[in-house]
Structure 1
Amino acid sequence: MRKADLPPPRVHALANGVRVVCDPIPGLETAALSVVAGRGARYEDAARSGWSHLLEHMVFKGAGARSAREIVEAIEGEGGHINAATGYERTSFQVRALEGGLDLGLSVVADLVLRPTMDAADLAREKQVVGQEIAEAADTPDDLVFELAQEAAYGDHPLGRSILGTVGSIGTAEPQTLEAWRAALYAPEGLVISAAGAVDEDELLRLAERDFGGAAAGGEAPPAPQGQFVGGVRPLAKRLEQANLVFLLPAVGLADPDYFALRLFAEILGGGMASRLFQEAREKRGLAYAIDAYADTYADAGVLGVFAGCAAGDAAELASVAAGEIAGLAGSVTGPELARAKAQLKGSMFMARESPVARAEQAAGQVLLFGRALPARELADRIDAVGAGDLARLGGAMLAPKRAACAVLGPKAALKAGDVFQRALFP
C-alpha cells in the first residue's frame, strides 16, 4: 500500500462537541499540535472589527495559573515552540514539541483558549501593541495593497475589513466584553484538536478529555454573512520606488466542486516560471520582477488573484497583459499546461504532508469544513479529474459578472492601471 493510499486519521468527538483528530507519522521524534476554532474575523460586526485578533494576543498575557512569561517558558523549557494565528474563518493555536511534549502542550493551549486572565492593564498595553501592528501594515506596501484589494472585493462585508481592525474598533474592547467574545469564538462545538507526528491516539484522546472535556458552551457569535463579491477600483498614491498591483475576479469557495479547477486555473495563469504570466510579462516583455496568480478561498466564496510589482510607467501595460492572459486562459488551455499544473498542485500537496504542522492544520480545516479528514488520494483524484472543459466553464463564470476588484499602490503614474485592467477584460 502506498503512503498516499493510507486511510485518513479518524475523527472523535467529546461529549461537549470538541472534535479530536490524530495523525501519527512513523519515524518522527517531534509532534505538532493545533487547536483550531472554526471562527475568526469574518464573524465580527463593524463595532468589533479586530477583536478576534486582539483576543488572540490577549490570551498570551496570562492564562490559568501561568503568567505571560511562564506560558512561553513552560513550552520552550521542553524544547518546543508555541504560536497562534487569526484568520477570517478560524483561529489556530499551534505547539511544536519533542516526543512526549503533548501533555504539557495541550494543557497550556487549553488554558489559553478556555481560561485567559484578561487583565485590564494588560489589555490597555496590548491595544497599543496592536495599534503599532496596524501602523506597520499601513507602512508595508505589500500588506497595504492586499488590504485595499480585499476592501474592493468585498466592500462592507467582514471579509472586506482588515483582520487587524482599526485603532477605534479595538479601543472599545473591555476585559468583560472581550471575555464574552472569547466564549463565543472559542465555543467547544467549534473547536478541533489536531495532532500529527510522534503522537499516540489513545493518549491524545485521554488528554483532550482531561483538558477540554469540561469546556461549557459559551455565548453565540453572530452568524457569518454570505460572502459576496462587490468589485471596484482602489488606487492610492504613495511615494514608492515600485507600483504594487492586485487584480481580483470573483471565484468559487472551498466547498465548491470547482475548487480544484480554480487552483489549476491559477497555477497555469501565474503559478510558476512556466506560467503564462511569468513568460509573457517577465520573460518576453521585462515588465516585472515579481508576478504571480493565486486562488484565495473561503467556505462559500473566493477570488482569482494576480499580484505584481513593476515600474510605475509599466503598470498600465502590465494590467493589459494580465487581463489578456486571463481572457486567453478562459478561452483555451493546452494539454501540457494542464498536466504540468496538476503535477505542481499534487506536488505541493504531498510535499506539505511531510510537515507535521501542515498536516495537523490541514486535518483541522477539513474537519471544520467537511466533518472529516480527507484522504490524500481522494484529493489527488479530484485534481486528476479536472478537464479543459472545467477550466473553460470556470473562466466563463468568473468573467460573466463583468466585475473585478483592483488595487494599485504607488506613484501617481501607475494609478490608472486598475481602470486599464477592467477595460481590457470587459471591453
Structure 2
Amino acid sequence: MTVGPHIHRLANGFTIAAEPMIGVETVALGLHVDCGARHEDARTNGLAHLFEHMVFKGAGGRNARQISEAVENVGGYLNAYTSRDQTAFQARLLAENVDLGVELVADLVRKPHFEASDLVREKDVVLQELGEARDLPDDIINDHFHSTAWPDQAFGRPVLGEEESIGAIGVDDLHGWTRTHYRPQSMVLAAAGKIDIDQLVDLAERRFGDMEPAPRPVAEGAAYQGGLFVERRRLESAHILFGWEGVSYFDPAYYPLLLFSQAAGEGSSSRLFQAIREERGLAYSVGSSVAAWRDTGMLTVYLATARREAQHATDLSRDLLREAAVTLSEVELDRAKAQIRATILMALESVQSRADRLGFQTLVHGTPIDPATIVTKVNACTLDEVRAAGARMLEGAETLATVGPALKAAA
C-alpha cells in the first residue's frame, strides 16, 4: 500500500522524488543521472561505465573496503548501472539508515577520489568484463546490433567501450566527466519504501543543495541506418538478433508497439514461440522485444538455434511478424493487454521496482507517471492501432546481426 509519489525541487534544480509505502520497513534509494554512453566521444568510449566503477574505489574519505563495510554493517547494499542514456547509483537499506544511504550515494558522485593506481587496476577489471561479454554470443550480439543499426555515432558504440578507448581514459577525463555531467538539473534522487518525505528533502538539501546549477549537456542524436553484421565463429549454435527501428517513449505508437511485440513474439503463447519452438522445434530460444529511448527505439527478435536451422528460423520469424501485422486477433490483443497490465501492477509490489520507476520517469518526463494512467493507455489501444504500429516498423530498414554462421539479410 502506498500514499502516492511526491516531487520536490531544490533551488539549484536538483530533484527529489519520493513514494512512501505502508507496511514495509525498508527503503530503496536511487540517484539517477542524465548521462550515459551516448554522451561520450569516440576517444573516451566506455568513460561513463568506467566512472561508475571508479567511484566505488574510494569516495568521501572512505576507501573501497570502507564503502562496502559502511553499508553492509547495517545490512544494506550498494549497486550501480550504466546505460546509453543514464547512470544510476542505488542503495537498499532499513528505513532507519536512510541518512547513510543518501550520504553514500552523494559521496560517490560528489567526492570520488580517482587515484591513478586504482584507475590502472579498474581498467583491467573492465577489460575482463568486456572479454567475458565477448565470450557470450547472446550478450555481445546486442553490441553488434547497435553498432550496425546506428553506425559511427555515439548511440551505436558499446557501453563497455573498446580496449583502445578504455586504455586512453585518464584521471583528468574522470574529473572532466564529473564537472560536465554531474549537475543538479541532471539528477533525481528517488526513494520508495518507509520514507519520511521531509527528512529525505532535508538530507538531499544537505548533500546536494550547494551544487552550482548548469544546463544539461545535450547528447548526440541517434540516426538509424540498419545493415548486416556477421561474426563467424565455430559454434554449435547460431545466435541471431534482427529488427527494425522502433519509436521513442514519447511517440503515440509506443504502447501499440509494446502490445504488438507482446502478442506476436513475447511469452510462450505468442506466435513466434508457438510456431518456431513448439510446432517446429527450430530454436531453443526465441522472442521479440521493444526498447525505447528519448529519440529512437527498436523492435527486435532474438533467436538461438542450431546452425542448420538458422536461416529457416530467421526467415520464418520475419514472415510471422509480417503476418501478425495483418491478422493479429482481438483474442491475442486482449491476452497481450492482460500480460502488460500484470507486469506493471506486479512491479508495484517491489520497493526496488517502485524506486527505479520513480527515478527513471522523473528524470525523463519531469514527473512520475501514474501506473493507472499507463494501464488506461494500454487498454485504450485498438486492434487497428496495434497492427499499424507493427506494420510501420516492419516497413523500415532491417538490421541483422549474427554470431556463428553467415545469414542472408531480408529481401
Q: TM-score range by the shorter chain?
A: over 0.9
Partner Cα separation in structure 2 for residue 374 and residue 361 of structure 1: 13
Change over 3 Å in CA distance of 1:217–1:183 after alignment to 2: farther
Give runs of aligned pairs for residues 233-252 of structure 1, distance below 5 A. 233-252=228-247
> Given residue 36 of structure 1, which amino acid in structure 2 is its aligned partner?
H
Give runs of aligned pairs for residues 91-106 of structure 1, distance below 5 A. 91-106=87-102
SS at match of 2:299: strand
Give runs of aligned pairs for residues 264-275 of structure 1, distance below 5 A. 264-275=259-270
SS at match of 2:381: coil
Give the structure 2 partner of residue 205 of structure 1.
201
Give the structure 2 partner of residue 75 of structure 1.
71
The alignment status of 1:66 with 2:66, answered yes or no, reads no
> Given residue 191 of structure 1, which amino acid in structure 2 is its aligned partner?
M
Deviation string 1:115-145 (CA, Å, 9 cap, x unpaired) is 1001111111111111111111111111111
How far 1:299 moved relative to its partner?
1.2
Partner Cα separation in structure 2 for residue 338 and residue 232 of structure 1: 31
Q: 1:281 aligns with which of 276, 281, 287?
A: 276
How far 1:396 moved relative to its partner?
2.7
How far 1:305 moved relative to its partner?
0.7
Unaligned runs of 5+ in 1: none
CA contact 2:185–2:216 (8 Å) conserved in 1: no
How far 1:392 moved relative to its partner?
2.3
Partner Cα separation in structure 2 for residue 27 and residue 176 of structure 1: 46
RMSD of aligned residue pairs (Cα, Å) = 1.4
Give the structure 2 partner of residue 146 of structure 1.
142
Q: 2:116 aligns with which of 94, 116, 120?
A: 120
Give the structure 2 partner of residue 397 of structure 1.
392
The alignment status of 1:415 with 2:406, answered yes or no, reads yes
The alignment status of 1:342 with 2:333, answered yes or no, reads no
TM-score (norm 1): 0.94
Give runs of aligned pairs for residues 165-314 of structure 1, distance below 5 A. 165-217=161-213, 221=217, 223-314=218-309
Partner Cα separation in structure 1 for residue 30 and residue 178 of structure 2: 18
Change over 3 Å in CA distance of 1:349–1:219 after alignment to 2: closer
Partner Cα separation in structure 2 for residue 167 and residue 219 of structure 1: 32
Unaligned runs of 5+ in 2: none
Q: 1:315 aligns with which of 304, 310, 313?
A: 310
Give the structure 2 partner of residue 356 of structure 1.
351
Partner Cα separation in structure 1 for residue 160 and residue 215 of structure 2: 23
Partner Cα separation in structure 2 for residue 58 and residue 259 of structure 1: 36
The alignment status of 1:36 with 2:21, answered yes or no, reads no
Partner Cα separation in structure 2 for residue 220 and residue 118 of structure 1: 23
Partner Cα separation in structure 1 for residue 331 and residue 288 of structure 2: 19
SS at match of 2:56: helix
How far 1:220 moved relative to its partner?
6.5
SS at match of 2:78: strand
Q: 1:108 aligns with which of 90, 104, 113?
A: 104
CA contact 2:58–2:112 (8 Å) conserved in 1: yes
CA contact 1:63–1:117 (8 Å) conserved in 2: yes
Partner Cα separation in structure 1 for residue 3 and residue 246 of structure 2: 31
Partner Cα separation in structure 2 for residue 116 and residue 323 of structure 1: 49
How far 1:218 moved relative to its partner?
6.3
Give the structure 2 partner of residue 19 of structure 1.
15
How far 1:372 moved relative to its partner?
0.7
The alignment status of 1:45 with 2:36, answered yes or no, reads no
Partner Cα separation in structure 1 for residue 79 and residue 364 of structure 2: 23
Partner Cα separation in structure 1 for residue 391 and residue 288 of structure 2: 17
Q: Comparing 173-182 with 300-309, which one deviates more in the overlay?
A: 173-182
Give the structure 2 partner of residue 374 of structure 1.
369
Identity within the alignment, %: 38
How far 1:8 moved relative to its partner?
4.1
Deviation string 1:260-313 (CA, Å, 9 cap, x unpaired) is 111111101111010000010011111011111100111111010100100000
How far 1:399 moved relative to its partner?
2.5
> Given residue 283 of structure 1, which amino acid in structure 2 is its aligned partner?
E
The alignment status of 1:406 with 2:397, answered yes or no, reads no
SS at match of 2:284: strand
Q: 1:164 aligns with which of 160, 164, 185?
A: 160
SS at match of 2:355: helix
SS at match of 1:257: coil
How far 1:7 moved relative to its partner?
7.2
Deviation string 1:317-364 (CA, Å, 9 cap, x unpaired) is 101111111101111310110000000001011111111111111111
CA contact 1:277–1:325 (8 Å) conserved in 2: yes
Partner Cα separation in structure 2 for residue 182 and residue 71 of structure 1: 20
Partner Cα separation in structure 2 for residue 48 and residue 382 of structure 1: 40
SS at match of 1:78: coil
Partner Cα separation in structure 2 for residue 137 and residue 320 of structure 1: 27
How far 1:183 moved relative to its partner?
1.9
Partner Cα separation in structure 1 for residue 356 and residue 34 of structure 2: 12
